[in-house]
Structure 1
Amino acid sequence: MTVDQRIIVPLDVPSTTAAIALVEALPQVSFWKVGLELFISAGPGLLDELRARQKRIFLDLKLHDIPNTMAGACAAAGRCGVSLLTVHAAAGKEALVAAQAAAIAGAESAGVAPPVVVAVTLLTSVDSKALALELKIPLSPTDYALQMALLANDSGLGGVVCSPHEASQLRRFLPADFVLVCPGVRPTWADRQDQRRTLTPAQAIQAGATCLVVGRPITSAPDPAAAFRRICEECTAP
C-alpha cells in the first residue's frame, strides 16, 4: 500500500449527510473509519454508499460480548464488505475465535472479501496510572498490549489496534503480515487533545504501524486536503 492508502480518516460526524459531505470534500482519501456514533445514527446503508464510491471501510465498533453475540455481529459486519472490523481482545479467546470465523462466513455468504478482524489491545486514552489504579491490571500499557496482541494472534485474528508506542515491540513478537492499526497519531503541528500515548505519523510508520488513524489534524484543519497531503509527505520524507 502507498502511504495515502495507509492513512484512515475517521468520519466522526453525526449523520449520513455530514459523512458524505466530508468524503466528497476529501476525494483523495480512500480509507474511512465509521465508528459507533455514526453507525448507530446512519446504519449499514452508509457502508453501501461508501463502497459505491470505491472507499475502503474501517468499521470501528469495538465489539465486546459473549461469543455467540460476537459471532452474530461479526457475521453481519462481514456481509457489509468492510475492510477492517474491531473487537476487544479482552473478550477472550473463545469470543475472538468465534468472531473471526463468523466474519469470514458472513463475507462468503455475501460474495465479498472478508474483513481483517483486529482486536483492540488498550484504548489510547488509558495510561499507566489508569491501568493500575482504575482497572487494577499490574502491567505496563506496553506489556498489557503485547499480551492482548499475542492472544489475538493465537486466536487467528489478522491484527490489532494499538498505540504507536507499542508498535515496535509488537513487531518483534508477531508475524510480519500481522496488521497494526495505530490511532492516537498526531503530527507535531497538531493538538494532542485527548490522546495520551501518541507519536507523529512518520514515527508510527517507522515503528511498524500498518495503518494510521488520523482524524482531527485533518478534518479540523483550515484546509483538510492540504493537511492530508502534508501528512503523506512527512511520512515519505527521508
Structure 2
Amino acid sequence: MKLCVALDMQTKDLNLELAKTIQYYFPNRDIWLKVGLRSFIRDGNQFVKALKSLGFPIFLDLKLYDIPNTMLDSVKECQNLGVDMLTIHASCGSEAMSILTQYVNQNNLSLKIIAVSALTSFDNEGFWQVYNTDITRGVINFANLVYQSGIHGLVCSIQEVAVIKNISQSLLIVTPGIRLEDTVIKKSCGQEPCAMELLGKDISSSSYNANLKDDQKRISSPKVAKELGSDFIVVGRPIYMANDTKKVIESILQQIY
C-alpha cells in the first residue's frame, strides 16, 4: 500500500511548503502527492511540474468526464505533464474507457488511469437519487465496466474495497476519506497547540475527526484500509491540519507497511 498526500491547502505556497517538508523528512519513502481540481485550476501546469521536480509521483485527480475523444485528448495532455496517475469518472462508459486503455497500451505508458465509482460524499440515499440503485450495486456495476475496459483500477470508499477485489485482484484501489485514531491525534499535537486547539476545538477522537470529516460520509483508518486490500490511501486534512506533520505521516506509514 502507498500513501498519497492530498495537496488541498489554501494557497500554492502552502502546498509547496508541505511537499518540501515531506521531501525533507521522508526522502526515501514512496509517498505520492495528489493534486485535485481546485489546486490545479488555481495553480496550473507549472505547479504540477514544480512537484515533479521534487521527485514525487503525482496523482492528478481531475475526475475527467466527457465524450470519448475529448477525454482522450485530455488524457494526452495529462501525460505530457508527466503525471503518474489520474482519475476519470466510471460514468463515462465502456467506450471512453476502452479508448483510453488502448492509448496507454499502444504507447507503452506507465500512466495509471483510475476510475471514480461512488464519491465518498455520497450516502446511500444520495447515490440512489442520481443512479437509481444503491451504492454497493452501483459500485459493482462500475467495477465490472472498469475491469472489462482494461482501466487500471477504481477510487472507492473502504466499504466497497472487498467487493471490487472480488471482481479482480488486479484492480488497483484508491481509498480516500482516511481519518486517524485518537492516539495519533494526540501525538501530532504534542506539547504545542495544534490547529484545532488554536481554533478552540476539542481534540478528542470524535470531535477532531468530526471536524475533519466535513463532506466525507464514508471514512476509515489507514490500518483498516490496508487489511481490506486498498492499494493507495489518500490523506489530506489529517496531515496538513496537524501541528506535527512528520509524526502523523510516520504513524500512517507504520500502519500501512
Report if TM-score (shorter chain) is over 0.5.
Answer: yes
Q: Which has the higher helix share?
A: 2
Provide the residue aligned with 1:157 in structure 2. Answer: 151
Residue identity in the other structure for 2:162: S
- Superposed CA RMSD in Å reads 1.8
Q: Aligned pair count?
A: 224
Q: Is the 8 A contact 2:4 2:233 kept in 1?
A: yes
- Which secondary structure does the structure 1 equivalent of 2:174 belong to? strand
Query: Which one-letter code corresponds to 2:57 in the other structure?
Result: R
- Is the CA contact 1:164–1:182 (under 8 Å) kept in the aligned structure 2? yes
Unmatched segments (≥5 aa) in structure 2:
183-207
Separation in structure 2 between the aligned mates of residue 153 and residue 232 of structure 1, nearest angstrom: 29
User: Which one has a bigger Cα radius of gyration?
Assistant: 2
**2:122 aligned with 1:129, yes or no?**
no
1:95-106 correspondence runs (5 A): 95-103=96-104
Ranked by relative contact order (alpha carbons within 8 Å, sequence separation 6 or more), the top structure is: 2
> Which of the residues 159, 178, 181 maps onto 1:188?
181
The aligned runs of 1:191-230 (5 Å cut-off) are: 191=209, 192-230=213-251
Letter in 1 for 2:34: K
How high is the TM-score relative to the length of structure 2? 0.81
Shift of the 136–60 alpha-carbon distance from structure 1 to 2, 3 Å rule, reads closer
SS of the residue aligned with 1:26? Answer: helix
Query: 2:37 matched to 1:36?
Result: yes
Whether the 8 Å contact between 1:182 and 1:212 is mirrored in structure 2 is: yes
Task: Give the deviation of 1:197 after TM superposition.
Answer: 1.1
Q: Which amino acid aligns with 1:75?
A: K
For residue 103 of structure 1, report the CA deviation from its aligned partner.
4.9
Q: Is residue 77–residue 103 contact of structure 1 (8 Å, CA) maintained in 2?
A: no
Q: Secondary structure at the match of 2:217?
A: coil
The one-letter amino acid of 1:63's match is L
CA distance in 1, matches of 2:131, 2:100: 27
Q: After TM superposition, give the deviation of residue 75 of structure 1 in Å.
A: 0.8
Indicate conservation of the 8 Å contact 1:74/1:100, yes or no: no
Identity of aligned residues (%): 31
Deviation at 1:194, TM superposition (A): 2.2
Deviation digits for residues 33-87 of structure 1, max 9, x if unmatched? 0011111112111222112111000000000001111011011111222111100
Q: 2:140 aligns with which of 130, 137, 146?
A: 146
TM (normalized to structure 1)? Answer: 0.87
Q: Which residue of 2 aligns with 1:118?
A: 114
In 2, the alpha carbon distance for the partners of 1:79 and 1:146 equals: 32
